Amino acid sequence: MEKLFCAALIFVVLPLSAGPFKHNFAWDWSVPHDAKFFDAMKELGFNIYVGMESGAELDKIYAETGKRGIEVYRVMEFKANDFADCDQVISDIDIKKVMVKSKKGKAYNDQVGGEPVEKDDIFKNDMMCFNREEALKMAKKKVAELASDKKAAGVCFDWFGYRNYIACYCDICLEKETAFAKAHPELSPEQARAKFSEDSLVNFMNAVIAEGRRVNPAVKFTCHAYPYFKPNPLYGNKLNMEYPEQTVSWFFLPHWDLNKVREYTKVVVKDEKKYYKDGVGIPFLGIYADENKKSAARIADEFKILREEGAEGVSVASFGEILKDPEMVRVFQENLK
């Protein structure tokens, strides 16, 4: 681990170009979060750390980030196992897909909740239903706890969406969807389902945000809009938060075509204030240093696109992966410092 950080910091003395990026989010779940870790984060140009720590470990992080002027956002997830008896329901066909997928193991084309390569893909993880009152009650309690932490700059949402990337088929959702479709005869059944599902998701998340602000008006919100929502992949600007993060380049092979990276970045930035005047659209880059590794040149191309499309910030996961490649370190220094 010592060598890892040394490799990352070799480039500190190099001349750095001034970039337009102001809000630079570093997610991490890999390396020890000690002084050297946050030295590297600061030297690479990140000013916001996103993590799930609590207790004594969180206290250590506050101490280290405070010395370096790095803000901390605490993660709040919406997986079903955090919301008892509020699981989404999927179709029998989808259940069979899950079983088939489990037998295949981890294939390269499993995007793990990202935009699927295979049209029949399904997310293996259980997700919570967004139309259950008890789920909203639990979510409000959790966000109130996080928002009341005055040492944190904000709360970051992750893992909210649909297992089949479209809808929940529980009795509550189906009843509400039927009523919605009757109220909107101008929509086809597919359009009604897509709009109802999106509204259910967005309204739930915005209610949780409102509760956080009620507890602490100064708290800020960000997110990673994940997993993928097929009817409208870039719906994140409908969330009433300061920094909606939306994927413009995913982790896994096959890496997205750069034209797609530009197309998505353009929407994330251009539509950032379409619904909320204070929103700042943050392009999210997934980076691993394993068999899915992107070259430093590829990441430089992605930064070029972000800059040309006017992005004011960037979000990267996982930060520790960057530190494994000195050339990748150089790219981030050159763009974020």
**What pLDDT, on the 0 to 100 scale, is given for residue 30?**
84
**What pLDDT, on the 0 to 100 scale, is given for residue 100?**
84
Closest CA to 169 of 139, 124, 127: 127
**What pLDDT, on the 0 to 100 scale, is given for residue 174?**
98
Token output for 234: 């870039």
**What pLDDT, on the 0 to 100 scale, is given for residue 106?**
64
Query: Are 319 and 46 contacting, i.e. CB atoms less than 8 angstroms apart?
Result: yes
**What pLDDT, on the 0 to 100 scale, is given for residue 8?**
43
**What pLDDT, on the 0 to 100 scale, is given for residue 19?**
57
Q: Residue type for 106, please?
A: K
DSSP-assigned letter for residue 12: G
Cis before 197 (ω within 30)? no
Taking CA 307 as the corner, what is the angle to CA 156 and CA 234, rounded to the nearest 5 degrees?
45
Q: Splitting the chain (337 residues) into consecutive groups of 10 residues, what average pLDDT does each group show?
A: 41 46 95 94 98 96 98 97 94 91 74 92 94 98 98 98 98 98 98 98 98 98 98 98 98 97 98 98 96 96 98 97 96 94
- Return the CA Rg of the chain: 20
Q: What is the pTM of this model?
A: 0.93
**What pLDDT, on the 0 to 100 scale, is given for residue 118?**
87
Query: 223 phi and psi, to 5 degrees?
Result: -165, 165
**What pLDDT, on the 0 to 100 scale, is given for residue 108?**
61
What structural domains does the chain harbor?
2-8+21-336 (3.20.20.80)
Which residues are 27's β-sheet partners?
A: 50
Collapse the DSSP code of 146 into the 3-class scheme (helix H, G, I; strand E, B; otherwise coil) and give the result: helix
Burial class of 236 by CB neighbour count within 10 A (0 to 12, 13 to 18, 19+) = buried
